[in-house]
């Protein structure tokens, strides 16, 4: 297999770090994409070598490695306009205090870069939030000036954070995702432009968020090949039956009345064959990280099945032309 198969620990955060390692290693995973809220303290990792050695020793005990830290919840608090949902992503003492939550998140992201350096990890995946997501439908009318101001605000908020990332030699991989400043193809392109294609910023490619919006993920890979810093393997099942729609109807994930649902690998509509071929063509050798999200399936079963699907799809590019043997000497 050409790329290590890892799994994101965000959906396993109810388990201790050792329980995560033991459970996921037993399935066959080669590494963990460590969620910073899943029994992992970025400030301790950045400042306490003994803490880092403890985490590394635990990974090694179960034959695991790590190639990325995941900072989705912290990053969301940097760029979002506050509402009560953000209180669950920040320390409890900051609940209901928007300015303090944002200030905490900015500093926490800087500590995350330092923690990644201490762990010997070159990529942090995550979200950036968006001050203009609520304007996505453009009614009441959203002016171009409002959109530009939103992107400019993200640049202002994240530039000091990225300065620390650069100091640490770590890259940030944004997961293009609804509720983020970059949620589809053209908003992702605009974000890169706004940051003047700063090398610090790239993408954590997750096809599931693109498919239900009607995009072809393999084209995103092709056009942003030099900015794919990490890859999530996650599937989504479409159910547009004439009653359902892509906006979701405020129906809970997992309910079969929804127009789409995240599902375990192999149960959805993502073309992973096309994705693997595109990754091969662009020379991506980083991890394929399963992000298991399926409210309709028991998670160990789902993570096990997902591992097998990724293992099967993780094929190398051919090193010979299939018709080479047909030529005469």
**CATH classification at residue 262:** 3.20.20.150
The pLDDT of 25-47, averaged and rounded, is: 98
Residue 324 inside a domain? The answer is no
The number of distinct structural domains making up the chain is 1
Task: Please name the residue that has the structure tokens 């070159």.
Answer: 122
pLDDT digits (tens, 9 = 90+) for 219-243: 999 999 999 999 999 999 999 999 9
Residue 322: predicted pLDDT: 72
Model confidence pTM above 0.95: yes
Whether the predicted pLDDT of 320 surpasses 90: no
Q: In terms of residue numbers, what domain contains 125?
A: 5-319
Q: Is the pLDDT of residue 14 over 90?
A: yes
Structural domain contains residue 313: yes
The reply to whether 42 falls in a domain is yes
Is 327 domain-assigned? no
Does the residue 274 lie in any domain? yes
Does residue 325 form part of some domain? no
DSSP per residue over 216-254, as a string? -HHHHHHHTGGGEEEEEE-EEEE---SS--TT-TTPPTT
218 lies in a domain? yes
Q: How far apart are CA 293 and CA 222, in angstroms?
A: 26
In this predicted structure, what is the pLDDT of residue 323? 66
* pLDDT per position as a tens digit, 273-300: 999 999 999 999 999 999 999 999 999 9
Say if 328 falls within a structural domain: no
pLDDT of residue 64: 98
* pLDDT for the residue numbered 329: 61
Q: Is the pLDDT of residue 103 over 90?
A: yes
Which of 264, 305, 306 has the alpha carbon at shortest distance from 288?
A: 306
Residues 141-158 have a mean pLDDT of 98
- CA separation (Å) from 289 to 212, 297, 329? 20, 19, 45
Peptide bond into 140 cis (omega under 30): yes
Measured between alpha carbons, how far is 210 from 220 in angstroms, rounded to an integer?
Answer: 9
Q: What per-residue confidence (pLDDT) applies to 111?
A: 98
What token pair was written down for 301? Answer: 């079963």
């Amino acid at each position: 297999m050409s790329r290590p198969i890892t799994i994101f620990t965000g959906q396993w955060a109810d388990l201790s770090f050792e329980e995560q390692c033991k459970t996921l290693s037993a399935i066959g995973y080669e590494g963990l994409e460590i969620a910073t809220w899943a029994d992992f303290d970025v400030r301790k990792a950045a400042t306490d070598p003994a803490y880092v050695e403890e985490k590394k020793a635990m990974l090694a005990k179960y034959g695991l490695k790590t190639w990325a830290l995941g900072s989705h919840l912290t990053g969301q608090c940097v760029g979002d306009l506050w509402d009560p949902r953000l209180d669950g992503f920040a320390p409890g003492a900051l609940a209901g205090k928007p300015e303090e939550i944002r200030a905490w998140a900015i500093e926490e992201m800087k500590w995350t870069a330092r923690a990644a350096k201490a762990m010997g990890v070159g990529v942090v995946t995550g979200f950036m939030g968006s001050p203009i997501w609520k304007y996505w439908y453009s009614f009441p009318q959203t002016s171009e000036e409002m959109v530009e101001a939103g992107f400019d605000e993200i640049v202002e908020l994240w530039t000091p954070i990225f300065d620390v990332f650069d100091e640490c030699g770590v890259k940030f991989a944004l997961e293009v995702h609804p509720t983020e400043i970059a949620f589809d193809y053209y908003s992702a392109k605009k974000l890169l432009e706004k940051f003047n294609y700063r090398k610090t910023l790239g993408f954590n490619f997750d096809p599931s968020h693109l498919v239900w919006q009607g995009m072809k993920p393999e084209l995103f890979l092709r056009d942003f090949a030099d900015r794919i810093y990490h890859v999530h393997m996650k599937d989504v099942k479409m159910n547009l039956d004439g009653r359902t729609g892509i906006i979701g109807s405020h129906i809970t994930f997992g309910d079969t009345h929804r127009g789409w649902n995240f599902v375990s690998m192999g149960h959805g509509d993502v073309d992973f064959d096309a994705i693997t071929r595109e990754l091969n063509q662009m020379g991506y050798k980083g991890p394929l990280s399963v992000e298991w999200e399926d409210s309709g399936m028991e998670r160990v079963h789902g993570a096990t099945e997902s591992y097998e699907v990724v293992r099967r799809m993780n094929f190398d590019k051919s090193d010979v032309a299939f018709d080479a043997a047909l030529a005469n000497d």
